[in-house]
Amino acid sequence: MMRQYELVEKVKAYNPHTDEALLNRAYVYAMRAHGNQKRASGAPYISHPLEVAAILTDLKLDDATIVAALLHDTIEDTETTREEIDKLFGSQIGRLVEGLTKIQKLDLVSKKAAQAENLRKLLLAIADDVRVLLIKLADRLHNMRTLHHMAEAKRARIAEETLDIYAPLAGRMGMQDLREELEDLAFRHFSPDAYQAIIHRLEELSEKSEPVIERIEKELTQKLSASGIHASVKGRMKRAYSIWKKMERKSVSFEQLSDIFGFRVVVDRLEDCYATLGIVHTTWQVVPGRFKDYISTSKQNDYRSIHTTVVGPGKQRVELQIRTEEMDRIAEYGIAAHAIYKDGRALPLSSRDSVESNVYAWLRRTLETLSEGDSAEEFLEHTKLELFHDQVFCFTPKGQLITLPQNATPIDFAYAVHTNIGDTAVGAKVNGVLVPLVSTLRNGDEVEIVRAEGQTPPSAWEEIVVTGKARAAIRRATRAAVRKQYAGLGQKIIERAFERIGKEYTDQRLKAVLPRLARASLEDVLAAVGRGEMYSGDVVKAVYLDYREEQSAGAGANLAEGGWFGMKGGQGLVFKVPGSSEGDGGGELSRAIPIRGIGGDLPVQFSPNGGAVPGDRIIGILTPGIGITIYPIQSPALTAFDDEPERWLDVRWDIDERHPQRFPAQLNVTVINEPGALAQVAGVIGENDGNIDSMSLAGKTADYRDMVINLEVWDLKHLNSIISQLKTKSVISAVERVNG
């Protein structure tokens, strides 16, 4: 176990001006706060914060970070408060410790929601001071190193969380060594059999390959030295988790992997990187397609290096990384490398110009998603998508570099440029050629997005895109479009409810009574009425407190009596008896909600059993969460709603002759059981411009077959014409329309 004096010595080794008294005071406070608490291993709990602080000394971090590491569990696991930390150690350290405290007092239903809320809190704290993340990663690293002391069930869950969030988060912050250790430790517990199998193979290979690694190191060092380049060449085998992921991704066996060896070449100057590359490529054969220049175009975590793969001595394929010492420091320490010491004192990370680094740009984008109010689960999914990806570099027509994940589409590109560009995208040109929006982008592509104002992204795009930003934006746009439809329907319903009692509807009157309706905005009320969550009569009563609603008898009785019917509940149903002209009724009919079809401004669907077509007298039933379901007036299904008058709507057809569309209908057809009967039925429907949507066998005897045919027609006249034509066929025994 690390001792306090050893920790102080480690800090003094890189920061001679450290506040030794502060470090000792923090240690004593943490030891007393944790008291007799024990780790799962049986060790005193204080051993954990000491080890976490020791990990951070390897990153050469400042006193405040080391002290916060010593205190990081005090608020969460002891009686300590934030106010007490502030008083004894200052508000800066208090903020760091509080940022590391998990959310405990939320009544969350699922562990996934709890995990998401804790990640949300952590990222907010990181945005305020990135040292919170460094302590959290060190905390997770030590917990993973001692995970074998935990119960087996907990091990798998913690290992999975580490692979899902903390290891890729370390990678996003540029801390590759820490990421690789987290991955290997998690892999050991998440898939122990696979881990042991790969470790066993690596141990066997290591014995055979050690001379080869030494030979390549020596030969390359000599060649570079002969050219006047001072370089450090280090070879190593890849880690178990990295090998396992590659085997899974490429569906290959261990024997088929050809680049298990990796070499890091560290030189003094930037120009030496490219000179080294030239020497390597002229000495050994290059493997095509395995060259990447992350110096010219750095990764989003500020990683810079040249990667290339060659066939080295003994025909062994080896991967080389070529970089300067500064690049190597950033590759190893990531964002922690921005902590620069002057006169032995650390400048706080939060005050460095690293605030404008690519890492911080990613944090800002992630926090934009936080502020847009997505659910906890959606936020967690978005963050995971952002953490996991290799990169593709594309350009706008003006030369702006856009970094995307592999397999990204022009839709992802559009949303990466700006959310509004994604929402209005209708097409794309890649390198000057029109391509589908679902195309896969490649390195170096120039992408131009074709836009159309007023466009709403289809919800199906959510399954196509690969970036969290695009997926979250599409969800929001889809929800907004649906909400707008419900609000439009709600406004029509409320306007007709006011007309019915001889009052004029205005937005101002409704806004004045929002507290009575327990809604925050006008749109909330309109959408609630449109969804069927709020009754329009209640809205009228909120505005006119003396309003008393009158209801008539049920619809079934009215249909039987004939004549004009009274109002049906609060939604203003007015309709006429069969046989009356659709043009009759004057003002009553003009108040009916116009229906064109699916895909318009209102959330509309048609009766699932029989549909409805223009020419039918129709009734609208408001279904909560769905919108309006349209039924023909003769549908027997309407009797099921007699006891729910508030759901009935007055609707009418409003067909746009410039843009005709088909409507659903259903037929029951009985045909004689003989070859070719089905072909004759389909032939009649096709010859008469009908469109068969689906067909099923409803029953059969030795002589007859009963079929249910769902088809689409222009209107009632068109449907009746098809029925008449079907009846002329000798093979058809009976045809009737289904009125569901």
Dihedral sign for Cα 246, 247, 251, 255, please.
positive
pLDDT of residue 336: 72
Closest CA to 632 of 661, 665, 599, 662: 665
Stated as kind and residue range, the H or E segment containing 506 is none
Burial 507-546 (b: 16+ CB within 10 A, else e): eeebeebeeebebeebebbbbbbbbbebbbbbbbbbbeee
Q: What is the pLDDT of residues 443-500, one digit of tens each?
A: 778 999 999 887 889 888 988 998 878 888 888 888 888 888 788 888 888 888 888 7
pLDDT band at 112 (very low <50, low <70, confident <90, very high): low
**What are φ and ψ of residue 134, in 5° steps?**
-60, -40
Residues 6+ away with beta carbon under 8 Å from 38:
44, 45
pLDDT band at 376 (very low <50, low <70, confident <90, very high): low
Tokens of 76: 């969460």
* Higher pLDDT pick, 451 / 534: 451
**Other Cβ atoms within 10 Å of 467 Cβ, number:** 22
pLDDT of residue 583: 38
pLDDT of residue 573: 36
Contact 71, 65 (CB under 8 A): no
**What are φ and ψ of residue 59, in 5° steps?**
-90, 0
The verdict on whether 77 is a catalytic residue reads yes
Q: Quote the DSSP letter at residue 125.
A: H
| Rounded mean pLDDT, 255-272 | 85
Is residue 579 over pLDDT 50?
A: no
Annotated active-site residue in 6, 9, 77, 325: 77
Domains delineated in the chain: 4-189 (1.10.3210.10), 194-338 (3.30.460.10), 358-477 (3.10.20.30), 550-653 (no CATH), 663-737 (3.30.70.260)
* Higher pLDDT pick, 96 / 702: 96
pLDDT band at 506 (very low <50, low <70, confident <90, very high): confident
In Å, how far are 176, 294, 297, 321, 610 from 303, measured between CA atoms?
9, 7, 9, 12, 62
Q: What is the pLDDT of residues 636-691, one digit of tens each?
A: 888 888 778 778 888 888 887 777 888 999 999 998 888 888 899 999 999 999 99
pLDDT of residue 364: 60
The verdict on whether 601 is a catalytic residue reads no
Q: Where are the alpha helices (DSSP H) in 15-80?
A: 20-34, 47-57, 63-71, 74-77
Percent of the chain with pLDDT over 70: 81
Contact 492, 475 (CB under 8 A): no
* Higher pLDDT pick, 587 / 643: 643
Q: Can you tell me which residue has the tokens 């799962």?
A: 40
pLDDT of residue 591: 61
pLDDT of residue 172: 77
pTM above 0.75, yes or no: no
- At 174, the amino acid letter reads G
pLDDT band at 207 (very low <50, low <70, confident <90, very high): confident
Residues 6+ away with beta carbon under 8 Å from 277:
306, 308, 322
**Other Cβ atoms within 10 Å of 158 Cβ, number:** 19
Contact 324, 269 (CB under 8 A): yes
Classify residue 563 as left (phi > 0), alpha (psi -120 to 50) or beta.
left
Is residue 366 over pLDDT 70?
A: no
**What are φ and ψ of residue 327, in 5° steps?**
-65, -40
pLDDT band at 382 (very low <50, low <70, confident <90, very high): low
Cα–Cα–Cα angle for 600, 604, 605, nearest 5°?
125
Classify residue 725 as left (phi > 0), alpha (psi -120 to 50) or beta.
alpha
SS3 504: coil
pLDDT of residue 481: 82
Q: What is the pLDDT of residues 213-246, one digit of tens each?
A: 888 888 899 999 999 999 999 988 888 888 888 8
**Other Cβ atoms within 10 Å of 309 Cβ, number:** 20
| Rounded mean pLDDT, 586-590 | 47
pLDDT of residue 355: 39
Q: What is the pLDDT of residues 279-335, one digit of tens each?
A: 999 988 998 888 889 898 887 777 889 999 988 777 778 889 999 999 998 888 877
Classify residue 457 as left (phi > 0), alpha (psi -120 to 50) or beta.
beta
For residue 631, the number of C-alpha atoms closer than 13 Å in the C-beta half-sphere is 21
pLDDT of residue 34: 92
Annotated active-site residue in 76, 507, 533, 584: 76
In this structure, the strands spanning 345-346 and 341-342 are antiparallel
Task: Please tell me the chain's helix, strand, coil percentages from 3-state DSSP, rounded to the nearest 5.
Answer: 50, 15, 30
Tokens of 611: 């549909």
Lowest mean pLDDT among 77-86, 376-385, 600-609, 657-666: 376-385
pLDDT of residue 490: 84
Classify residue 628 as left (phi > 0), alpha (psi -120 to 50) or beta.
beta
